[in-house]
Amino acid sequence: MPYYLSYLMGAKKIEDKELEDLDIKIENKDSDGDRSIKIPEEKLSQYIELVKNKLTEGFWNEIIGEKEIIFLFKFKDGNIKEYELSPENEQEIDKLCAEFNNEPPEKTANVYKYISENKFYHDFMMKHYADMINRQL
């Protein structure tokens, strides 16, 4: 069964039970309350709505599938921007990642490589996106 991965941080308003009610498996929870989760494909739209409603302002959430990577950015004013990562919008996503994390854009320039550095995503990303991770910019 196809699934998506997400490293959910900045989401203290989202209870574990809300995730479990959507059949989302919490693979790991760290001391900050950040959760590594596995989302069934058929629950993706419900998960996206939950994140849009309850993610803390000033955070983003990425959702990694075999064929798409979705970014949800929640600005400090509550506005939300949703993207499906592609070479066409990678630079815009790069700027937002850098801005939200107070990092230089060079660190996040290859967004595929940047997110693959998260241990939870690494093997999945290498399996499905190695060509995008290893390309020369």
Within 8 A by CB and 6+ apart from 9, the residues are: 32, 34, 35, 59, 61
Q: pLDDT tens digit string along 27-75? A: 999 999 999 999 999 999 999 999 999 999 999 999 999 999 999 999 9
3-state helix, strand, coil in the chain (%, to 5): 40, 25, 35
Asked whether the beta carbons of 54 and 11 are under 8 A apart, the reply is yes
Please tell me the pTM assigned to this model. Answer: 0.94
130 has pLDDT over 80? yes
Question: What span, in angstroms and rounded, lies between the C-alpha atoms of 72 and 8?
Answer: 11
* Predicted pLDDT of residue 1: 76
* Strand pairing report for 35-40 and 3-8: antiparallel
16 has pLDDT over 90? yes
Instruction: Indicate the domain borders of the chain.
Output: 3-134
